[in-house]
Amino acid sequence: MKIAVCIKRVPDSETRVKIAAGGKSLDEAGVKFVLNPYDEFALEEALRRKEKAGTGEVGVSSASTSRYALMKSCRMSVRTFCARR
């Protein structure tokens, strides 16, 4: 079984967000980004289903420009999932 999960990084809910000078984007200075909580639930569910099936793959897709930060967020989610087992 192959499962695809779409994910997105979003500003942490405890981070103070400021609008950039142009008024059309966020000023990312000092903003902590995290994996969208709902996407994290979807990733955990995909891992549960793979584990239950005994075989398979879980693929992650995102349109994020920061690949390193996205992978770091995914690793943290997988570690959290594994720690709960």
The amino acid at residue 49 is R
SS3 59: strand
Contacts of 84 (CB under 8 A, 6+ apart): none
Tokens 């979003």, residue located: 10
Residues 40-71 pLDDT 10s: 899 889 989 998 999 999 888 887 666 777 77
How many residues are present in the chain? 85
Among 13, 15, 85, 9, smallest CA distance to 44 is for 85
| Average model confidence (pLDDT) across the chain | 82
Give the chain's domain count.
Answer: 1
Range 33-45 average pLDDT? 87
Partnered with residue 33 across adjacent β-strands are 11
Give the range among 10-19, 52-61, 73-82 with minimum mean pLDDT.
73-82
Q: Which domain holds residue 23?
A: 2-84
Residue 23 has pLDDT above 80, yes or no: yes
HSE-up of residue 52 (Cα within 13 Å, Cβ side): 7
Range 1-24 average pLDDT? 86
Question: So what's the pLDDT on residue 85?
Answer: 60
